[in-house]
Amino acid sequence: MKLATLIGKGPVSDGGASVHGSAPRDAYDGNVTGFAIDHRKVAPGTIFGAFEGARVNGEDYIADAIRAGAIGIVARPGLAVEGAAYIADETPRERFAQLAAAFFAPFPATTVAITGTNGKTSCVEMTRQLWRMAGHHAASIGTLGVTTADERVTTGLTTPDVVTFLSNVAGLEREGVTHLAFEASSHGLTQYRTEGLPVSAAAFTNLSRDHLDYHGDMAAYFTAKIRLFSEVLGPDGAAVVWADDPQAARVVDLARERGNRLVTVGTRGDTLRLVDRDPTLLGQGLTIEAGGQTYRVTLPLIGGYQAANALMSAGLVIATGGDIATTIANLARLQPVRGRLERAVIARSGAPVYVDYAHTPDALEAAIAALKPHAGGRLIVVFGAGGDRDTGKRETMGQVAMHYADRVIVTDDNPRTEDPAAIRRDVLKGAPGAIEIGDRRAAIQAAIDEAGSDDIVLIAGKGHEQGQIVGDMVLPFDDVGVARECAV
């Protein structure tokens, strides 16, 4: 693709964006070969995004990128750029994403994005499953990686960088994928990592404390989330909202103001209303009202928040053309999502051991609430808190665990560069009487060893993760695998 095709021939002005610099005129006839935000990945013909970051300033590497063959530089105004087209914009990340989207397109015809503090991973995977059951070639992108019916490729981030994201999405379209569900994290939305991709429907699950180390306060955190509806979702798209969340009304008001089709879900939902939920040994019976009809379905997943995730996924499928009756019936065929209330093993005592990604107070409370009705005896919880992250939630997590669980073991969970003992002390401020076992394997072993036949063990915090981050090292560690080894 010619550079001029992407940015317009010659110097242009477009909403604060401009193209100038000392590049020769025939540079605009040059072929764009790719995009990069890492100067080490620049090749001849690449458009380089030079952005200010939390740790690294990409502007410092503009000259290196040009020497490596960059044909264009996207950056904020006021910089000295010599030897390449300079695409200046007050929001350079957004401009870069838009150009990259034009380069990598086409994309799957139907795409949906899910944001919220909890439930994103489960919703994208369940949406993918429901689409597949309806006969579509579907995929999902998020914390678990790129998932299709055939394979899974781990990306390592909830929302990967924009170049990786858009190239992956375009690759899925070339493979025949027609329906895509992806996670839109607050970081990803703030940094325009999914910009430029047409979104058919956007979903809001819930909002609770998380990532305040990055956003600063809850207002800024919510503003980042709501950008999915205020800027990313087009006016013809549908807004799918979990109506039972305290912030739902704000999302609904915005959707109505922008003229989006509205799909509300939950006990207060108008589109999919959850009338009744009856827990069973390995799942739950749901009574749902939709389109003037009452439906009864057995969901093979336990916990109230799993029901919420399943219904939100159904809402997304229906919002993108799915048949109501068929979609609700297919809830009975959903498979568990990796690391989300995943039953890892049955201990020798007969106690089931579950692994869940819960790493916020709200998510931990939800996981405990999901398992509690199934425990004839005690609910034993093993958890910790991550280092170099929001320290304010640690004591609250301890309080939640002590209030709702019967037995609490505080351990390490990705201490990173912090002192693990100091992190545990923060958690234990809210959990007086809890057991402290720093070694995570030993903590899991202790919980399983003491669990009786009527007890349930919950190992929270890491879920699907395959490593324990200590310092700058990632040590192999899988809660599911370790639980199975400890149960032998």
- Which is nearest to 304 in space by CA: 293, 312, 295, 296? 312
Find where tokens 């970081």 sit: 187
Per the annotation, does 5 bind a ligand?
no
Integer Cα distance of 176 and 380 in angstroms: 45
416 annotated binding-site participant: yes
Task: Give the H/E segment covering residue 379.
Answer: strand 379-383
Determine whether the annotation assigns residue 461 to a binding site.
yes
Q: Is 413 annotated as a binding residue?
A: yes
What would the two tokens of residue 397 be?
Answer: 């997590």
121 is in an annotated binding site: yes
391 annotated as ligand-binding:
no
Q: Is 119 annotated as a binding residue?
A: yes
With H, G, I as helix, E, B as strand and everything else as coil, classify residue 49: strand
Cα distance between residue 132 and residue 329, in whole Å: 14
Q: Is 33 annotated as a binding residue?
A: no
8 in a labelled binding site: no
Please tell me the distance from the alpha carbon of residue 480 to that of residue 241, in angstroms, as a whole number. Answer: 32
- Does the annotation flag 155 for ligand binding? no
Q: What angle do CA 352, 306, 392 make, to 5 degrees?
A: 90
DSSP 271: S
358 Cβ partners below 8 Å, 6+ apart?
118, 364, 366, 367, 383, 460, 461, 463
| Residue 291 assigned to a binding site | no
Looking at residue 29, what DSSP letter applies?
Answer: G
Is 298 annotated as a binding-site member? no
How far apart are alpha carbons 58 and 479 in whole angstroms? 37
Query: Is residue 122 marked as binding?
Result: yes
The backbone torsions φ and ψ at residue 379, rounded to the nearest 5 degrees and listed phi first, read -105, 115
Tell me whether residue 31 is annotated as binding.
Answer: no
Q: Known binder of ligand: residue 223? A: no
Amino acid at 144: L
Residue corresponding to tokens 């234990």: 428
83 assigned to a ligand binding site:
no
**Other beta carbons within 10 Å of 152:** 12
Any known ligand binding at 253?
no
In this structure, the strands spanning 284-290 and 293-299 are: antiparallel
Residue positions forming the annotated binding site = 116-122, 158-159, 185, 191, 193, 389, 413-416, 461, 465
Residue positions forming the annotated binding site for meso-2,6-diaminopimelate = 389, 413-416, 461, 465
Residue positions forming the annotated binding site for ATP = 116-122
